[in-house]
């Protein structure tokens, strides 16, 4: 497989890719979502008081490497995973997509994720995504994905048992 630096990626191409990712997650097409990730991908949700820190020295809500991401997806698809069975209904809105660096391709975007679960009130998760993207085989893929939440405290949002 050929890996190339993405200096040639356009904002429109990146936006389409992020919209496709959001649609896959909202539809709970988790295997298809996994196919968007590189073999060395990471997924992180840092603490909201130190969003620019590294997981090696700071507590993170989620700090998964590719093996843990695959394990998380397997758990979410398991009918015995009571935290997400039946799965939450989510709707992601992605806005203000910006390419902040071209080599490596670093992208930021704002998000709102609405989560509906059983008879609970809707929860809103607001923040920004930070991505590291690469082209492999001519397609954009996710090498790194961070969801930085704007909430001052997370208790009112409930468990982040789905993929933010």
Query: Which among 124, 146, 122, 142 has a CA at the least distance from the CA of 133?
Result: 142
> Where does the pLDDT of residue 53 fall: very low under 50, low under 70, confident under 90, or very high at 90 and above?
low
* Complete DSSP assignment for 45-88: EE-TT-TTS-TTTS-EEEEEEHHHHHHHHHHHH-TT-GGGSSPP
Q: What is the pLDDT of residue 44?
A: 92
Q: What is the pTM of this model?
A: 0.89
**136 in Cβ contact with 34 (< 8 Å):** no
Q: What is the pLDDT of residue 79?
A: 84
Q: Is the pLDDT of residue 138 over 70?
A: yes
Residue 130, both tokens: 């930070």
How many Cα atoms occupy the beta-carbon half-sphere of 107 within 13 Å? 30
Q: Are β-strands 123-136 and 105-116 bridged in parallel, bridged antiparallel, or unpaired?
A: antiparallel
Q: Is the pLDDT of residue 48 over 80?
A: no
> Where does the pLDDT of residue 5 fall: very low under 50, low under 70, confident under 90, or very high at 90 and above?
very low
Q: What is the pLDDT of residue 96?
A: 98
Q: Is the pLDDT of residue 110 over 60?
A: yes
> Where does the pLDDT of residue 126 fall: very low under 50, low under 70, confident under 90, or very high at 90 and above?
very high
Q: Is the pLDDT of residue 1 over 60?
A: no
Question: What value does the mean pLDDT of the chain take?
Answer: 88
């Amino acid at each position: 497989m050929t890996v190339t630096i993405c200096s040639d990626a356009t904002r429109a191409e990146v936006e389409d890719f992020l919209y496709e990712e959001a649609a896959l997650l909202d539809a709970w097409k988790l295997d298809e979502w996994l196919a968007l990730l590189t073999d060395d991908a990471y997924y992180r949700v840092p603490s909201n008081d130190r969003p620019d820190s590294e997981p090696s020295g700071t507590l993170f809500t989620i700090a998964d490497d590719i093996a843990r991401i695959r394990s998380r997806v397997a758990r979410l698809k398991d009918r015995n995973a009571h935290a997400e069975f039946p799965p939450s209904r989510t709707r992601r809105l992605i806005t203000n997509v910006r390419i902040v660096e071209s080599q490596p391709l670093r992208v930021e975007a704002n998000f709102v994720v609405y989560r509906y679960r059983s008879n609970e009130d809707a929860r809103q998760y607001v923040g920004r995504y930070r991505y590291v993207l690469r082209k492999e085989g001519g397609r954009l893929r996710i090498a790194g994905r961070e969801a930085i939440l704007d909430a001052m405290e997370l208790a009112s949002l409930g468990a982040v048992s789905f993929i933010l």
